[in-house]
Amino acid sequence: MIIGHIGARGGSKGVPGKNFKDLHGKPLIDWSLDQLIAARQIDHFVVSSDDPQIYGHGIKRGGLDIGLRPAHLATDAAGKWGVWQHALTEVEKQVGPATAFLDLDCTSPLRAQEDIDAALALFADQSPDMVMCVCEARVNPYFNLLEPDETGALHVSKPLPGGVVARQAAPKVYQHATGTYVVAPDYLKRSASLFEGRVIACEVDADRGHDIDSPTDFEVVKVLMAQKLGL
């Protein structure tokens, strides 16, 4: 049994109310919620929120009723892992043991349905602790990501012998993309953070990897979504 999950706090310092902010005619959360509902592999889903409006919206769309998120999981400092653990525990009380836990970030509305399908298929085929959708990073610590030393002089973050003089010659590195994760429930229960086990990559198109964390991000995604919709 596969459980779908979307976490959406009511508060946001970068973009106030962003998870329910209108994006081309519907709340931001609905771009991800529509995909979760459309994923035929999902047996049940839940929206985890501290906000009554967002939480009630998730219930109306068919989500399980697990109650509002506890206060200690609704702060800026609260990480995904604890939120996921709480949601899984409450869902399993109602529907029994899960075989996979799929999380979609509602701040990544440009993901494609095929990204979700690919992540679930990879999880089923490889049986890792977690599948994480990623894209090739826009900056690379072996080439153009810099940090200062104690004198303030800049150096490449991860220098290699002889240096790297072209981006194409640098080792490949990834960044999070499309906010899509598939987690093994037993791993989620026994671990304290994302990378304690075998986490494997599901690589997707970088154009779908934009995450909304600032007003500028929102406007960029708005333009890209308009192009996607042919508006």
- Sign of the Cα torsion 182, 91, 47, 113 reads positive
Q: Residue 164 has what pLDDT?
A: 85
Mean pLDDT of all residues in 56-71 = 94
Q: Residue 129 has what pLDDT?
A: 98
Could you tell me which residue, 63 or 176, shows the higher pLDDT? Answer: 63
Partnered with residue 139 across adjacent β-strands are none
The tokens of 140 are what?
């690379």
Q: Residue 125 has what pLDDT?
A: 97
All structural domains of the chain with their residue ranges: 2-135+174-229, 138-172
Q: Residue 231 has what pLDDT?
A: 83
Q: Residue 184 has what pLDDT?
A: 98
Count of Cβ atoms closer than 10 Å to residue 197 Cβ = 16
Question: Among candidates 65, 22, 25, which has minimal Cα distance to 45?
Answer: 65
pLDDT digits (tens, 9 = 90+) for 18-46: 899 999 999 999 999 999 999 999 999 99
- The angle subtended at Cα 51 by Cα 49 and Cα 134, nearest 5°, is 40
Q: Residue 154 has what pLDDT?
A: 95
Strands 26-27 vs 146-148: parallel, antiparallel or unpaired: unpaired
Whether 42 contacts 139, CB under 8 Å:
no
Percent of the chain with pLDDT over 70: 99
Rounded Cα distance, 217 and 109, in Å: 12
pLDDT digits (tens, 9 = 90+) for 190-227: 999 889 999 999 999 988 888 898 999 999 999 999 99
Rounded Cα distance, 225 and 17, in Å: 19
pTM of the model: 0.91
pLDDT at 102 over 70: yes
Give the model's confidence band at 14: pLDDT under 50 very low, under 70 low, under 90 confident, else very high.
low
Average pLDDT of the chain, as a whole number: 92
Could you tell me which residue, 78 or 192, shows the higher pLDDT? Answer: 192
Q: What does CATH list as the number for 2-135+174-229?
A: 3.90.550.10
pLDDT digits (tens, 9 = 90+) for 105-144: 999 999 999 999 999 999 999 999 999 999 998 899 999 8
Residues with Cβ within 8 Å of residue 183, at least 6 apart in sequence? 84, 100, 101, 102, 103, 129, 130
